[in-house]
Amino acid sequence: MLEHYVKRILSSRVYEIASETPLSKAPLLSRRLGVDVSLKREDMQSIYSFKLRGAYNKMASLSDQQKQAGVITASAGNHAQGVAISAQTLRMKASIVMGKNTPSIKVNAVRDRGAKVILHGDNYDEASVHARALAEENDLTFVPPYDDIDVIAGQGTIGMEIINQHEGPLDAIFIPVGGGGLIAGIAAYVKYLHPKTRIIGVEAEGSACLQAAMTAGRRVKLPIEKLDLFADGVSVAQIGQETFKVARHYVDDVVVVSVDEICAAIKDVFEDTRCISEPAGALSIAGMKRYLNQPHDMKAVAAIVSGANVNFDRLRHISERAEFGESREAIFGVTVPEVQGSFLKFCRALGKRSITEFNYRRSDNNDAHIYVGLGIGSVQDREETRLGLEAKGYRVLDMTDNEAAKVHVRHMVGGHRPGGGTEMLFRFEFPERPGALLEFLSGLGSKWNISLFHYRNHGAAWGRVLVGFKAENGQRRELEAYLRRIGYRFWSEEGNPAYELFLE
C-alpha cells in the first residue's frame, strides 16, 4: 500500500503552484518542552494554507474534457481557496458552494481568485449535498477536500519535504486531523522511509472522528448537531474512507485537545514565529504540548502549522481563552460577607497574586459574590489557591472549566432572576450572518417569555447566545420540544453553578 502512495506523491504536480515551505526551529517551545521542536510552516503558502497542494494535484490530473467542463466543490475555508487558485492557474472554471454563514473575508478571497461562489445552507454537509447535485446536473468534476488518492498524494508532499529538510530522523510528527487527507499523505511517505517515526494525529474535542474510528476499528459518524465548531477547519463528522485505509495502520496515536489548549497554542506559535495561525492551524501544536507533558523519550519532533486564515474579530476571544489553556489563569466564584472592609480583606487573602478580572454581585444583606480571575502557575497551583481561600473561610466555586461562565457569565454579572415561576437556561449556537440575530429571535417567537439574553459576536461563523425562559417546571418538555423544532443547536444549562451564583 505505502509504495503505491509514495509513487503518487513523488509524481505529484504540486510544485507548479505550491512552495516548499520552511521547517523552522521553535526555540521558545523547544526550551519549554525540553525537546527540539520544528514547525512546518504551511501558513506561508500563497493562500496561507496547505490545502492548495491536494486541490491542485487532483485538478491537474483531470482529462482535457473534464478541465474544459470545469470543477465544483463545497468548502467554507481553505479548500475553497485551494480549488479557486488552482482553477485560476490551470485556466479552468470553478464553482464553490459555501454556507450562507461563511465570513465575508473567505467569500471575498475565493471570488478574488476568479471562482464563482454559490451560497447555500448553513453547514458543510448542506453545501456538499448541493455541490454534488450541481456537479451531476452540469457535468462538473467534484473536487473532494480530503477523501481522494490524488488529494492525499498532494498533501503527502509535506511529509516528503519534512524528511528532506530535517537533519536526522524525527521521533514524532504531530498532524492536525479533519477528514484525514493530510495525515494519510504524510503517514504514507514518512512510514515508508522511517517506520520508527511516530505519526500522531491531533483532533479537537467534539470533532474527534479519527479517534472514534480507531477505537471502534471502523469509520464512525459523529452526531453533526454535537460537532465542535471552534476549529472549523477540522470540524468533520466522519474520517474519509480512503484516508482511514492508511490511518488505521500507520497512525501511532491520536491526541484530543480542548478549545483553551488550541488558543494557548495559537499564542505559542505567535511568540515563536510572529504568525497568527487559525485554530485548526495551531491544532497540532496543542496536541504536541499535551503529549510531551507526559513521560516520553523523544528528542526531536515536528508539528504542522497548517493555516493562518483567521478572522481578526476572533482574536479577542482567542486571547481571552489562551491563558486557560496554558493553566496560567483560573476563574473562581467567591462568596464574601457583605460588610464594610470585606473587599480589602479578600484582596489581602489573595496576597500579591495577579488579579486578571474582578466582578462584584451583591446577593443579599449578608453576602456578596465575586467573579475573580487569577494568575496561576499550574493546575496544582489553581487547586492550592482554592483550598487556601477555603481555609480562610471563603466559599469558593472553581469555574475555570465552565464554558457558560467563560463565554457569557463573565460579561453579565448583575441583575436578578424574575420572581414567580422558574427560569430555564439554555445555551445556543446559530449561523452567524447579517440579520442572523433577528432571525434567531424570530425563530424563538413570542410563545415563551425571555427573561435573560446574552449575545456576543466572536467573529466566527457561529453565534453564541445564552437565553433564559420564564416557564413552569411542568413545561420543560414542551419548551425543549419547541426549541428542537426551531433547529438551532442548544444545550440546557440547568444547574450551572455560575448561573446560580451570579445571575439567579
Q: Does 209 share its domain with 354?
A: no
| 189 neighbors 156 (Cβ within 8 angstroms) | yes
- Joined grid coordinates for residue 236: 468533520
Alpha-carbon distance of 98 to 73, in angstroms, equals 9
Tell me the mean pLDDT in the region 168-188: 96
- List Cβ neighbours of 406 (8 Å cut-off, separation of 6 or more): 320, 321, 324, 331, 399
Residue range 85-105, pLDDT digits in tens: 999 999 999 999 988 877 777
| 123 neighbors 109 (Cβ within 8 angstroms) | no
- Joined grid coordinates for residue 111: 471570488
Q: Does 37 share its domain with 109?
A: no
Q: Does 57 share its domain with 105?
A: yes
H helices of 251-335, in order, are 259-273, 283-292, 315-325
Please state the φ and ψ torsions of residue 274, each to the nearest 5 degrees. 65, 25
User: For the chain, what percent of residues have pLDDT higher than 90?
Assistant: 57
Q: Does 223 share its domain with 263?
A: yes
Give the CATH number, domain containing residue 131: 3.40.50.1100
Domain C-terminal end among 372, 401, 430: 401
Report the SS3 class of residue 59: helix
Question: What confidence tier does 210 reach under pLDDT thresholds 50, 70, 90?
Answer: very high
Q: Does 87 share its domain with 36?
A: no
Domain C-terminal end among 271, 297, 323: 323
Residue 204 clears pLDDT 90, i.e. is over it: yes
- List Cβ neighbours of 188 (8 Å cut-off, separation of 6 or more): 1, 2, 5, 6, 9, 152, 156, 159, 246, 250
Q: Does 158 share its domain with 284?
A: yes
Q: Does 363 share its domain with 494?
A: no
Spell out a b/e string for 109-128, using b for 16 or more CB atoms within 10 Å of the CB, else e.
Answer: bbeebebebeebbbbbeebb
Q: Does 192 share its domain with 331?
A: no
- Joined grid coordinates for residue 298: 523523544
Q: Does 153 share its domain with 300?
A: yes
Q: Does 14 share its domain with 66?
A: no
pLDDT of amino acid 436: 67
Q: What is the mean pLDDT of the chain?
A: 89
Between 353-362, 409-418, 425-434, the lowest mean confidence (pLDDT) is in 409-418
- List Cβ neighbours of 162 (8 Å cut-off, separation of 6 or more): 23, 40, 170, 173, 186, 190, 302
Just list the catalytic residues: 51, 306
pLDDT of amino acid 377: 84
* The dihedral formed by the CA atoms of 149, 152, 157 and 160, expressed in degrees to the nearest 10: -90
Query: Which amino acid type is present at position 149?
Result: I
Domain C-terminal end among 367, 401, 435: 401
Q: Does 126 share its domain with 154?
A: no
Q: Does 21 share its domain with 168?
A: yes
Report the SS3 class of residue 67: helix
The distance between the two most distant Cα atoms of the chain, rounded to a whole number of Å, is: 82
Between 113-127, 251-265, 284-298, 436-450, the lowest mean confidence (pLDDT) is in 436-450
Alpha-carbon distance of 390 to 375, in angstroms, equals 18
Residue 392 belongs to domain spanning: 327-401
Tell whether pTM > 0.75: yes
CA angle 227, 43, 224 (to 5 degrees): 10
Give CA 290 to chain center in angstroms: 16
Q: Which residue has the cell 445564552?
A: 466
- Joined grid coordinates for residue 345: 480583606
Which residues make beta-bridge pairs with 74? 97
Give the CATH number, domain containing residue 383: 3.40.1020.10
Question: What confidence tier does 404 reach under pLDDT thresholds 50, 70, 90?
Answer: confident
Tell me the mean pLDDT in the region 377-390: 90
pLDDT of amino acid 166: 97
What's the number of domains the chain is made of? 4
